[in-house]
Structures are given as C-alpha cells and as structure tokens.
Amino acid sequence: MLVRLNVNGEWREAEAWPGASLLSMLRDDLGLWGSKNGCEQGECGSCSVWFDRELVCACLVLAAQADGRHVETVESLAAAGSLHPVQRAFLDAGAVQCGFCTPGLEVAVADLLQRDPDPTEETIREALSGNLCRCTGYQKILDAVHLAADRMEQGTP
Amino acid sequence: MEFFQPSSLREALELRADHPEAVPIAGGTDLMVELNFGRRRPGAILDISRLPELQRIGREGDRVVLGPGVPYARIIRELPDQVALVQAARTVGSPQIRNRGTVGGNLGTASPAGDALPALAVYDAEVVLASTSGSRRLSWRDFLVGPKRNALAPDELIVSVEWTAPRGPGSFSKVGTRNAMVIAIAGMGLQLDESSRSLRLAMGSVGPTILRAPEAETFGAGVLDEAGAWSNPGAAVSATALARFGELAAAAARPIDDVRGTAAYRRHACAVLARRALAWALDDRRLRAA
Ligand SMILES: Cc1cc2nc3c(=O)[nH]c(=O)nc-3n(C[C@H](O)[C@H](O)[C@H](O)COP(=O)(O)OP(=O)(O)OC[C@H]3O[C@@H](n4cnc5c(N)ncnc54)[C@H](O)[C@@H]3O)c2cc1C
Ligand code: FES
Ligand code: FES
C-alpha cells in the first residue's frame, strides 16, 4: 500500500507492507538511517521520533498509521547544517561511546527540554527511562542533559 | 494482509462486521511487538486510532467516561482526580509508551499484568462494547474472563470505559525490578469510598486475571468502622490491623512461579503492597482533614 507522510518538513511516500513499522519505512524505504533498530519491541528507545509532535517509538507505530501525519526524526535536529545544542552537549560531555543509543536519546532529550527547559535530576531520569544505553553507564548522558539545558537557557550554542 | 483505516466509529463497526479477521490496532504498543516478531500475521488490520468517538475523556455528572483510545499520557494530564488510574498510568512503560498505549489496548490484551486493570477493578468500571447490531455493557469482571482472554466478540469494539467517580483516596502501586519499564511482579489498586464507607482492593499479576480481595475489603472497612475513622480521619488504626489487612490480601492471591518471580514472593508482595496502600490512604485522609 502507498503511504504518504511528512518527514522532517517534506512530504514523502513509499510502498509499504501493511504490517510494516514506521521504523522500517523510515530506514528501508526513505533512507533515513538515523533512527536505529535496537529491539523492535519498544524497550530500547533507539528508534525514538516525534509523531505529530509526540515522542514515540517508531518501531511501535504502523507505517500505515502514519499516512498523512507528521514525523520528525533525529535528522531534523541538525537541520540548519549545524549541530543542535543537545547534539553538541552529547559530544562535549562525552556521552557518546558506540553511539547506537545516541540518536534516540538525543530526540528524547530534545523533547524533554522543549517541555521543561530546566529539568530536575529526577525529571531527567524519568524522561529517559525508555532509552537504554549499554556503554556509558548514563552519568555522562545526564551531564549532557544538564549542559544542553544550561546552554540553551543562556542562548549559547 | 489488508489494511483498513476508518474515520468514524460507524464505518469501523461495519468493517469489523464484514472482516472479523481484521485485528484492531490502537496505540500498537502490544500488537506491533507481535507483528515485528512475526508472532502474529493477521489477515487484516483495522486502524482505530483515528476514531474521534474513542477519544472522549472526562466527567458526565458523577460518572467518569474514558474513551478506550485515549493514551496514558492524556489520562495523566486530564483525569488528575482519578488517582488510582493516574498512578497506574504513570507506571506504564516509558514516556514513549505512555504517549501511545491506551486503556482499550490494555483491556484488549487482557494480560493479568495490565496495570490499568486493577484501577478499573477498584472503580467497578463498566466496559461498553458495540457492534453494528447494538451495544452492551459488561462489568470489568465479566469482560476479563481469563489470562489474555476477554469477552469481546469478533464483530465488536470497546467503545467506552465508565465508572462512578469515587469519593475518597485511591492508589496504585506495583513491585518490579526497576522503577520504570517493568512488567509488574505484583500490582495493587486500592480505593476508599467515603459515601458507602467501604473499600475496594484489586491485585494484578498474582492470578490468571485481576483479582479482588473481598475478605480484605470487608475487614478493612470494619477496621475503620471500629476505630471510628470513617467520621474521624484522625482516629488511629493499629499496625496489627494493617498487617492483618495485608495478610488477607495475600490470601486472596492465586500466584504462580514464573520468570519474573515466585508465587511465594508474589504473595509476600501482596501483603506488603496492601498494607502500605491502606496506610497511605489513611494518611491521605488525615492530611485532608487537618
Ligand atoms: C516497552 C513496553 C513497555 C510496556 N509496559 C507496560 C506496563 O508497564 N504496564 C502495562 O500494563 N502494559 C505495558 N505495556 C503493554 C502495552 O503498552 C499496554 O498493554 C497498552 O495499554 C496497550 O495499548 P495499545 O493501545 O498500544 O494497544 P494495541 O497494541 O493497539 O492493542 C492491543 C490489543 O487490544 C486490542 N484493542 C485495542 N483497542 C481496542 C478497542 N477499542 N476495541 C477492541 N479491541 C481493542 C487490539 O486489537 C489488540 O489485540 C508495555 C509495552 C511495551 C512495548
Ligand atoms: S527499536 Fe524501537 S524501542 Fe528499540
Ligand atoms: S553509547 Fe553505546 S549504547 Fe549508548
């Protein structure tokens, strides 16, 4: 079936199997490899995207359900050719090791900071509870969130 | 595989009648896992996530009306006074899951570990089912007929979940290996009802389906009676009575050993959760009265 959706501001379409996930459509049909396939069961968050502005696991949305809808992927973060403050903070804080969890985490962090520019430690942990990282032990990720929040508040990149 | 995407409930029910093999999908947080892993290959999928009729949420007089398609994140924001359900919703998965997962899906899956279900049980909620030939209303108890089994007919959809708004404190708590993203080893809903001076206790993950604990309920209400606590929230309730309440809850559990925990551990968890839930409710009433 033909699925037509707005991805990162652009209307795209692809032929999708009716049982296919939005994640597989993004990766296999639209060439957007930023969203990762870590588990296909909603556990790891590496496929996190915005679906009509809500943070979701792309592996748990049927591609067909996204017909006519708006999706923003991790690729939208650095849209202007320069890194998003969250991405910069991840690099500067050393929150990236193998990098597999990073796209999903960055989307989740950007989502959090849109809603709460100055989150408490507890709020951050809760907001990131759906994103697994097997490398960093999370401390540097928490540091990156604080760094991004501070910089975004001060308007520095 | 066919795919249907109706835009009204009427159209959805007609499709359901014509294609009983079509599996409804709401938030997809249960169904997609099965599709992704090839555990299920339905002949057709019926997307019910666009039906405005399933998105109702709010009060109608003293009744709470919850559309089955409302995601947990909205329940948390929009039904703040339904504390047991909100607390249950807050424990479901992660933010990503709560933005998509629905109570309709929790009822559809009918897992004994469905976290919304003990809350619905302590509300004595009714599940409204509809087909092209009409609608029927079942108590949660008659709807949840067994482990992963419910009373939904192949041509029906869940169209509403309704209950009388309780007056009194309520809670939901669960035991698991992590604070988030965890399937309950035991889950506990408690609701006090000041109007009828009664209380209701429901347990998840400790039986083939959600279990109420009638003996604990009668005992608990009696303890408050004897202490004069229904009219005087400041009245003391003994630790022994709270412990007995927990024991009676544990006695009503019918747990099994599985990968998540042993039957003995689950029983113990029920005693602790029930005792704490009642203690919290009593504290809550004291604070409110003060
Ligand atoms: C990572 C992860 C974590 C999770 N954590 C929890 C948790 O902590 N607690 C918990 O309880 N659950 C949890 N779940 C399970 C799931 O999120 C819940 O059961 C949720 O309520 C399902 O809702 P849904 O709308 O996504 O269901 P869907 O997957 O869309 O549907 C589930 C079933 O219900 C049927 N259905 C849905 N709506 C209707 C309707 N209106 N009428 C008739 N049938 C209907 C569908 O046909 C399907 O069989 C988790 C799932 C994942 C992937
Ligand atoms: S791939 Fe979607 S949550 Fe892991
Ligand atoms: S950096 Fe490797 S999984 Fe997070």
Assign residue A113 the CATH number of its domain: 1.10.150.120
A95 and A65, same structural domain? no
A13 lies in the same domain as A59 = yes
Same domain for A40 and A22: yes
Give the residue among A131, A54, A27 at the shortest CA–CA distance from B49: A54
Q: Using pLDDT thresholds of 50, 70 and 90, give the confidence band for residue B173.
A: very high
Nearest atom in ligand 1 to the alpha carbon of residue B103 is: 21
Could you say which of A31, A48, A76 is where a domain stops? Answer: A76
Q: Is the domain of A105 the same as that of A47?
A: no
The closest of B94, B89, B157, B97 to B117, measured between CA atoms, is B89
- The stretches of chain B forming alpha helices (DSSP H) are 9-18, 31-36, 72-78, 83-91, 95-98, 103-109, 116-122, 140-143, 214-227, 239-252, 263-289
pTM: 0.97
Give A90's contacts (C-beta < 8 A, 6+ positions apart): A96, A102, A105, A106, A141, A144, A148
**pLDDT at position B232 over 70:** yes
Q: Do B96 and A48 touch (CB under 8 A)?
A: yes
For chain B, which domains are there? 2-164 (3.30.465.10), 170-289 (3.30.390.50)
Mean pLDDT of B171-186: 94
Please compute the mean of the pLDDT values over residues B239-257 and round it to a whole number: 97
**One domain, residues A47 and A92:** no
- Please determine, for residue B46, whether its predicted confidence score (pLDDT) is greater than 80: yes
Give percent above pLDDT 90 in chain B: 98
What pLDDT is stored for residue B231 in this prediction? 96
> Quick one: three-class SS letters along A71-110?
EECHHHCCCCCCCCHHHHHHHHCCCCCCCCCHHHHHHHHH
Q: How far is the CA of A5 from the centre of ligand 3 (A)?
A: 30
Model-level ipTM above the cut of 0.85? yes
User: What pLDDT does residue B285 have?
Assistant: 96
Same domain, A124 and A65: no
Alpha carbon of A73: minimum distance to chain B alpha carbons (Å): 14
The more confident residue out of A153 and B88 is B88
Do residues B84 and B191 make contact, with C-beta atoms less than 8 angstroms apart? yes
Beta-carbon count within 10 A of B60 CB: 10
In this structure, the answer to whether residues A18 and A54 fall within a common structural domain is: yes
Same domain, A71 and A103: no
**One domain for residues A71 and A99:** no
Among A12, A47, A76, residue at a domain's last position:
A76
Q: A157 pLDDT band (50/70/90 cuts)?
A: low
Confidence of residue A79 (pLDDT cuts 50, 70, 90): confident
Q: Which domain holds residue A53?
A: 2-76
Answer yes or no: do A108 and B96 touch at CB < 8 A: yes
Cα four-point dihedral sign B100, B104, B108, B109: positive
Residue B250 has pLDDT above 70, yes or no: yes
Indicate which residue's Cα is closest to atom 37 of ligand 1. Answer: B105
CB atoms A45 and B96 under 8 Å = yes
Q: Is A98 in the pocket of ligand 3 (CB under 6 A)?
A: yes
Looking at the structure, tell me whether residues A66 and A89 fall in a common domain: no
Pairing of strands A70-72, A2-7: parallel
pLDDT digits (tens, 9 = 90+) for A116-155: 999 999 999 999 999 999 999 999 999 999 999 999 988 8
Supply the DSSP symbol for B260.
T
Q: Is the C-beta atom of A128 inside 6 A of ligand 3? A: no
Ligand 2 close to Cβ of residue A103 (< 6 A): no
Q: What is the pLDDT of residues B130-170, one digit of tens each?
A: 999 999 999 999 999 999 999 999 999 999 999 999 999 99
> Which amino acid belongs to residue A155?
G
Domain count across chain A: 2
Measured CA to CA, the distance from residue B250 to residue B271 in angstroms comes to 5
Regarding whether A89 and A71 lie in a shared domain, the answer is: no
Give per-residue pLDDT as tens, B96-141. 999 999 999 999 999 999 999 999 999 999 999 999 999 999 999 9
Residue A55's closest chain B neighbor by CA?
A: B96
We report the CATH number of the domain holding residue A25 as 3.10.20.30
Clarify whether residues A57 and A111 are in a common domain: no
Pick the atom of ligand 3 nearest to A96's CA: 1
Q: Is B45 helix (H, G, I), strand (E, B) or coil?
A: strand
pLDDT greater than 70 at residue B6: yes
What residues of chain B lie within 8 A of the CB of A39, using their CB?
Answer: none
Picking from A49, A76, A103, the residue at the C-terminal end of a domain is A76
Is A156's pLDDT higher than 90? no
The tens digit of pLDDT for each residue in A28-62 reads 999 999 999 999 999 999 999 999 999 999 999 99
